[in-house]
């Protein structure tokens, strides 16, 4: 056979193979032969379901919540056709999770990657772009439900005008359950974002981190394209505890003030973390004790993104880590106004009368590095008790040695605009 004839035969065989490949039907994912499973690597360490497998992941509309790996779990997916052959190359965006309890964002991404040559992929680094809550997630591959996993979902976009938003309505709902614990009427695991059995300052810090997030919901499907007086033992030994105090300057150098009738005096509530185990804070909880009825406190600015407060004290939280400048972190700025002559008065920072967590009756701060699901002590490790400092107003017999800045009412009004 000549070389020319051999070349022609090879050419025609190549054409036939190409046509056969083009006409071959595409593989269809078959639920009966596909597999889905979940592996939990951690156990609950708080008072909620103590010792049981940790099966919660926190979702947020912007996909800034926990990854499945953060929550100590991994969802494994194997896609096969109805002949049992692996289906390779399914895009990650076509492998999603869904639940009727979730409001799913339209811009979410899928699994960690496309299916491999063995039809496998995972949900480990993926994060849920969603609001709402769920107790089970369905796994959908190429539009086909191949199974479900017993994974619970919670998050800050739980109640409100829109499931897919962390807005003023969800803030109002969270304020209503704040301070409750497992066994109380108001407690719900949906708002206990670190699942330790307490809806407390740690959860407020996590809520503030996501306030204002929102997204456009997916239409047609609910698929989640996948997308953080206490005893002395709560402080690390050998490390100085943080401090919170009321001062009459922004640097924390003046802890004494002369307060005359109808002459506003500016004050600051400051946290000092230098020398402590904290490199910054995300939330604070405290009360100023000793303020007489004749003195009004006008807060020009709570220097936080979220503030929940009443006569029993304040709970404040920031959406980002607050680090010290010049040794201090400002918490509140305001003015004291006396309606009648004031005798010598001591103002002391203490814990809230009704703290968000009864285990912590101290002035309280939360760390920037809120622990992951696998933390062995989620109740304590995110928090640090602070020492409450005392300031003096109109001390007797010796007045303050340094004059405090006074403001006119017109100056005060400008700060409130």
Contacts of 224 (CB under 8 A, 6+ apart): 59, 96, 97, 98, 99, 102, 104, 108, 128, 129, 130, 137
* Average pLDDT for 341-348: 93
Please write the tens of the pLDDT for every residue from 135-179.
999 999 999 999 999 999 999 987 654 568 898 888 888 999 999
The pLDDT value recorded for residue 225 is 38
The pLDDT value recorded for residue 409 is 45
Omega before 244 cis (within 30°)? no
The pLDDT value recorded for residue 389 is 94
Please write the tens of the pLDDT for every residue from 347-394.
999 999 989 999 999 999 999 887 666 777 877 888 999 999 999 999
The pLDDT value recorded for residue 224 is 39
| Predicted structure pTM score | 0.78
The pLDDT value recorded for residue 302 is 64
pLDDT at 408 over 90: no
CATH pick for 35-154 out of 2.30.30, 1.10.3470, 2.60.40, 2.70.98: 2.60.40
Whole-number Cα distances in Å, 123 to 57, 58, 279: 12, 14, 32
Reference 207, options 47, 46, 315, 100; nearest CA is 315
The pLDDT value recorded for residue 115 is 97
Q: Looking at the chain, which residues constitute the CATH 2.60.40.680 domain(s)?
A: 232-415
pLDDT at 5 over 70: no
CB atoms within 10 A of CB 185: 6
**Beta 102-104 vs 130-132: how paired, if at all?**
antiparallel
The pLDDT value recorded for residue 251 is 92
Q: Select the more confidently predicted residue: 46 or 255.
A: 255
Cβ(299)–Cβ(333) below 8 Å: yes
Average pLDDT over the chain, rounded to an integer: 83
Please tell me the distance from the alpha carbon of residue 90 to that of residue 115, in angstroms, as a whole number.
5
Please write the tens of the pLDDT for every residue from 259-307.
999 999 999 999 998 877 788 999 999 999 998 999 988 875 668 999 8
Per-residue pLDDT band for 80 (boundaries 50, 70, 90) equals very high
pLDDT at 406 over 70: no
CATH pick for 232-415 out of 3.30.230.10, 2.60.40.1510, 2.60.40.680, 1.10.260.40: 2.60.40.680
Structure tokens that stand for 404 in this block: 């405090």
The pLDDT value recorded for residue 4 is 54
Per-residue pLDDT band for 7 (boundaries 50, 70, 90) equals low
pLDDT at 90 over 90: yes
Please tell me the distance from the alpha carbon of residue 300 to that of residue 250, in angstroms, as a whole number.
14
Please tell me the distance from the alpha carbon of residue 178 to that of residue 187, in angstroms, as a whole number.
8
pLDDT at 195 over 80: yes
**Beta 364-367 vs 345-350: how paired, if at all?**
unpaired
pLDDT at 9 over 80: no
Structure tokens that stand for 58 in this block: 């926190």
Structure tokens that stand for 367 in this block: 């760390």
């Amino acid at each position: 056979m000549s070389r020319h004839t051999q070349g022609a035969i090879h050419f025609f065989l190549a054409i036939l193979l190409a046509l056969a490949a083009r006409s071959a039907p595409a593989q269809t994912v078959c639920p009966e032969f596909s597999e889905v499973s979940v592996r939990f690597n951690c156990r609950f360490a708080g008072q909620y379901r103590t010792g049981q497998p940790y099966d919660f992941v926190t979702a947020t509309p912007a996909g800034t919540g926990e990854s499945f790996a953060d929550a100590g779990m991994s969802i494994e997916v194997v896609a096969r056709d109805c002949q049992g052959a692996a289906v390779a190359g399914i895009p990650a965006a076509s492998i999603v999770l869904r639940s009727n309890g979730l409001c799913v964002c339209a811009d979410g991404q899928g699994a960690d990657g496309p299916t491999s040559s063995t039809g496998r992929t995972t949900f480990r680094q993926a994060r849920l772009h969603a609001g709402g809550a769920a107790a089970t997630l369905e796994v959908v591959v190429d539009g086909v439900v191949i199974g479900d996993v017993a994974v619970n979902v919670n998050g800050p976009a739980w109640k409100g005008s829109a499931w897919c938003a962390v807005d003023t309505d969800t803030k109002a709902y969270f304020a209503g359950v704040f301070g409750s614990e497992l066994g109380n009427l108001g407690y719900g695991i949906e708002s206990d974002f670190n699942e330790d059995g307490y809806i407390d300052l740690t959860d407020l810090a996590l809520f503030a981190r996501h306030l204002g997030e929102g997204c456009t919901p997916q239409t047609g499907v609910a698929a989640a394209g996948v997308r953080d007086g206490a005893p002395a033992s709560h402080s690390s030994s050998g490390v100085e505890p943080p401090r919170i105090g009321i001062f009459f300057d922004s640097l924390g150098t003046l802890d004494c003030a002369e307060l005359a009738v109808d002459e506003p005096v500016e004050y600051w509530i400051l946290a000092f973390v230098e020398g402590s185990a904290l490199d910054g804070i995300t939330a604070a909880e405290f009360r100023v004790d000793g303020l007489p009825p004749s003195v009004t406190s006008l807060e020009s600015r709570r220097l936080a993104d979220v503030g929940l407060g009443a006569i029993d004290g304040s709970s404040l939280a920031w959406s980002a880590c607050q680090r010290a400048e010049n040794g201090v972190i400002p918490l509140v700025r305001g003015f004291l106004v006396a309606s009648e002559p004031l005798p010598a008065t001591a103002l002391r920072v203490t814990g809230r009368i009704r703290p968000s967590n009864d285990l912590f009756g101290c002035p309280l701060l939360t760390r920037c590095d809120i622990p992951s699901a696998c933390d062995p002590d989620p109740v304590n490790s995110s928090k640090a008790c602070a020492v409450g400092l005392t300031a003096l107003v109109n001390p007797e017999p010796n007045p303050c040695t340094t004059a405090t800045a006074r403001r006119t009412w017109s100056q005060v009004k400008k700060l409130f605009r």
